[in-house]
A and B are shown apart, each in its own frame.
Chain A
Amino acid sequence: MSAERPDFDAGRNLLLLGERRIIFHCHHYNLFLQRSIEDGLGPEEATRLQVAAAMESARPLLTKLYAKEPELALVDKLLLAQRLFGSLGFGQADCTDLTAHGGQIRLLTSHYAIGWLAKWGTASRPVCHFPVGFWMGALCAAAELPPERLQGRELSCHAQGDARCLLEIEVL
């Protein structure tokens, strides 16, 4: 499991995973920042930015982790992403429907949806932009797809009152 745990350089206070910096933040900051980005840019552009930033962040990190285990099949790479998603605290994902041609990811729990509900109550729009981008980045890295071929969206969100969050990735 240590492949999915960041290394801690205690002298410099650096946490590194897949050669990328990992930092602790709590749901108050994560959801406050998300709302601030919406306040600054408007909801549509803020959503696009957060999905793109999540994909940009997750893809190289997972590419590095996959490179350490080149024998892994696509399904095993996606399961690694699923374990990573959970160990980092983003929620419990079920990606068994996902293939190199796209598919859906169910979030049995979602940090962003739970955090939004706890801070602000029921949301008027889906809030799991980071998870959408994370899973686009994970599929892109695992199936070695050009990122331009992927589109992603959240079909239903726990923060809006749905039982579960459901994400969809389309491969053009």
Chain B
Amino acid sequence: MAIDEQKIIEAVSQLGISGNEEGLIPAFGLYLTQHMADYYNRISFAMAHRLERTPELIDDGQTLLMEAGHGCAFHTFGGIMKSAEWDAVVRPMLQTKEDWVYGMTAVVNTFGWGRWAVRDLVPGQRLVVTVQDSYEAAGYLRDYPRSASPRCYLATGGVAGLMNLLYVGDITQGPELSDAYYKQVFRSPSRFVGTEVLCRAVGDPLCLFIAQRLP
């Protein structure tokens, strides 16, 4: 059976994810928020800009923010791919490990992050993802002059993190998402790193990400 993205989007968006009587959203083993893109963008870009003013700190902001994206992939994607909701909605469509990449991308397409699409997937080697309406690039374009460098830090870390979960670790076996497992997978010498090759914030028509193994 092939991945039916529309069916996944319909099913997940109809879960009606919203705060309970305690004002919290426990789902997929996580506490979720329906948050404000403006908030993430302002705090992320303000920090990046501040660090970019000091030559020896130029890369630090990007490194910190991409590492936050790795953590997001590990816990959020990892938590979702181990959840009962995943088992109910997505898992019946999965046959190969590659299907997990397409299944997770379909779930991302309910998060409000803009539309993710897998352009190319070489099993165990390479993932190329395009994003239309990336909230990071859209927020950057609205509030700042055209950027000299790509600005979708969360998505860059997320794309690499998805490959790490599948081809460095093995999320299909349901591992415990512990700090030790994070270090094992995301500090592995054969881990994936993400690069944003095209970004709307620098004037490209869409954002494009490549995850490949450390050379």
Contact = CB atoms under 8 A, between A and B. Distances in A.
Given A24-B32, A33-B44, A90-B33, A109 B71 contact: no
A99 interface: no
Contact of A56 (B38, B40, B51, B112): B38
A39 B63 CA distance: 12
Contact of B24 (A15, A36, A53, A91): A91
Interface string A15-28: 10000111111111
A171 interface: no
Interface of B: 9-10, 13, 17-19, 21-25, 28, 30-40, 42-44, 46-47, 50-51, 60-61, 64-65, 67-68, 71-72, 74-76, 79, 108-116, 132-133, 135, 138-139, 154
Contact of B64 (A6, A29, A40, A93): A40
A150 interface: no
Interface string A26-42: 11111011001101110
Query: Chain A: interface secondary structure?
Result: helix
Interface in A76-122: 85-93, 108-109, 111, 114-115, 118
Most chain-B CB neighbours within 10 Å: which of A8, A28, A86?
A28
A167 interface: no
Interface in A51-92: 52-54, 56-58, 61, 85-92
A58 B132 CA distance: 25
Nearest to B116: A13
6 contacts: A13-B109, A13-B110, A13-B115, A89-B24, A114-B24, A115-B31
Contacts of B34: 6, 15, 22-24, 87-89
Query: Chain B: interface secondary structure?
Result: helix
A5 interface: yes
Nearest to A53: B42
A135 interface: no
A39 B36 CA distance: 22
A14 interface: yes
A70 B144 CA distance: 33
